[in-house]
Amino acid sequence: MRSRGMLDAWRSCCVNIPQRWILALMGFLGLFNAYAMRACLSITITEMVVPIEHSNEPSDYTCESTENITSSGNSTIGSGGKGSYEWSEYTQGIILSSFYWGYVVTHLPGGMMAEKFGGKYTLGIGILLTAVFTLLTPNAVAWGDSTALIVLRLLMGLGEGTTYPAVNVMLAQWTPPEERSKTGSFVYAGAPLGTVYATTVSGLILQYSSIGWPAVFYFFGSVNVLWFLVWVVLCYNNPREHPFISESEVKYLNERLSDHTHQKPPPVPWRHILTSKPLWALIIALIGHNWAFLTIVSDLPKYMSSVLKFSIQNNGYLSSLAYLCMWLGSLVTSWIADWLIAKGHMSMTGVRKVGTTIALIGPALFIVGASYAGCDRVMVVVMFTMGMALMGTALPGIMVNVLDLSPNYAGTLMALTNGISALTGIVTPYIVGVLTPHQTITEWRSIFWIVFGVSIATNVVFLLYGSGEVEYWNDPEFVKEERRRRKNKNVEEIET
């Protein structure tokens, strides 16, 4: 009786709130917290390692320290921090890339599990495991140095690899087509905003915490355990399972989603998926986007610290500014995208291609420009900020494109597209570690030119073959009919 009374209280409180909005908010917070745990190491590592000395290098290849121009209530931390671990740039590159070794492995299993069993626990347990490994990080590093940190980051990647596929499965069950750009962009904006949150809060914790860098991992791990508890109570796999949803919202979602989203679609049509030109164009475009985005997420704090010599506090603030502008860019352009589609001013395909082009070409130009701004710190920050603002158009461009192509197989497709493109998270930190051993402007300039070349090439492919229309193999009747034909053909061959 008591549990029924509590359920009735929840219903009376929540039934008038559209539950797809609650799902979108919790999905946003899920990505927000997942990216915070992923990104906090990028700035914390600058305080864990012994700083590189540049005393013998020419002045035009390095920047003067900001210690003499940055004021603070406490002593400022200059270039590279006061760490005790002597990890080379190569080792740091391996550490930062090790997360993605595990991340790419669980994408496809995670997507298939989410499609079969639902996204609620596929997403929730994945983030909970990542939180537990985050909490264990300080003890692991104290015990096993860089090797233990690499193993733990790999395990974190295994946990978080289910995130995007599971989120996509739930969005496919909860998001009408006319709300897709806004809702998808809002949820996916958790990634850049989580990075803003991680870099800002990490900088403050590193400056003021009495226990130093371990506090960063304790904080973010604890917050994500709390998120998991709220997620389990508030969110459900689909409208039919939800105990608090109104009948009018169930009816609305059934009407709007019935054409392309089905409760029990047939098994994944792998042959058609793997030969789909629009899907491979999307994968290639995501490789270009992730190459730029993950290079900046993993290594912008290092650039700010080792090259521009910003203090740890300013490093956190300025790195966060870039991601904040990316979120603002995605917010504005997602509303414009849905308006253009709803009013018939532009096709779904046209909107996706324009958004993708801006997201790939714009940041590439500004990132290269930042490398030629040298030690003009104001200009460098402006360049990175403008580039990240334009990168925000990727959310209503390529990030929601999987939902366009196949709502029925959204989890599998997100696993395939995001999993393959996430391989760049392994490659880019390694390349940075190899090509920037002395952390000079000239070394970093080569990194930014590589980003530029990859962005241009991948954008051309998407312009040629990308699409915003539902693929024919999303239709369950088509898949079932083809399977019947193949079965009958095999029977005939056996009989003859």
pLDDT more than 70, % of the chain: 85
| Average pLDDT, integer, range 431-443 | 83
DSSP string, 87-124: --HHHHHHHHHHHHHHHTTSHHHHHHHHHHH-HHHHHH
Helices (H), 235-276: 247-257, 270-274
User: Could you tell me which residue, 90 or 53, shows the higher pLDDT?
Assistant: 90
CATH 1.20.1250.20 fits 15-52+87-245, yes or no: yes
As a CATH number, domain 267-495 is 1.20.1250.20
Q: What are phi and psi of 261, to 5 degrees?
A: -120, 120
Helices (H), 373-440: 377-391, 401-405, 410-421, 424-435
Check residue 61 and report its DSSP letter: G
| Average pLDDT, integer, range 453-472 | 94
Which secondary structure element, helix H or strand E, spans residue 149, and what is its range?
helix 119-160
The most confident of the ranges 14-18, 152-156, 291-295 is 152-156
User: Could you tell me which residue, 217 or 50, shows the higher pLDDT?
Assistant: 217
User: Could you tell me which residue, 433 or 404, shows the higher pLDDT?
Assistant: 404
Residue 365 confidence (pLDDT): 93
The most confident of the ranges 192-206, 251-265, 304-318, 351-365 is 351-365
Mean pLDDT, the chain, integer = 82
Residue 355 confidence (pLDDT): 92
Residue 185 confidence (pLDDT): 76
Q: What is the pLDDT of residues 218-234, one digit of tens each?
A: 999 999 999 999 999 99
∠ CA 166-172-176 to the nearest 5 degrees?
150
Q: Could you give the residue range(s) of every CATH 1.20.1250.20 domain in the chain?
A: 15-52+87-245, 267-495
Residue 12 confidence (pLDDT): 55
**Which residue carries 């300080």 as its tokens?**
138
Q: What is the pLDDT of residues 124-141, one digit of tens each?
A: 999 999 999 999 999 999
Q: What is the pLDDT of residues 260-316, one digit of tens each?
A: 555 566 778 888 889 999 999 999 999 999 998 888 766 677 777 777 777 666 766
Residue 451 confidence (pLDDT): 92
What three-state secondary structure class fits 179?
Answer: helix
Residue 77 confidence (pLDDT): 34
Q: What are phi and psi of 85, to 5 degrees?
A: -100, 125
Task: Say whether pLDDT at 75 is over 80.
Answer: no
Q: pLDDT category, 62, cuts 50, 70, 90? A: low
Residue 80 confidence (pLDDT): 41
∠ CA 434-440-443 to the nearest 5 degrees?
45
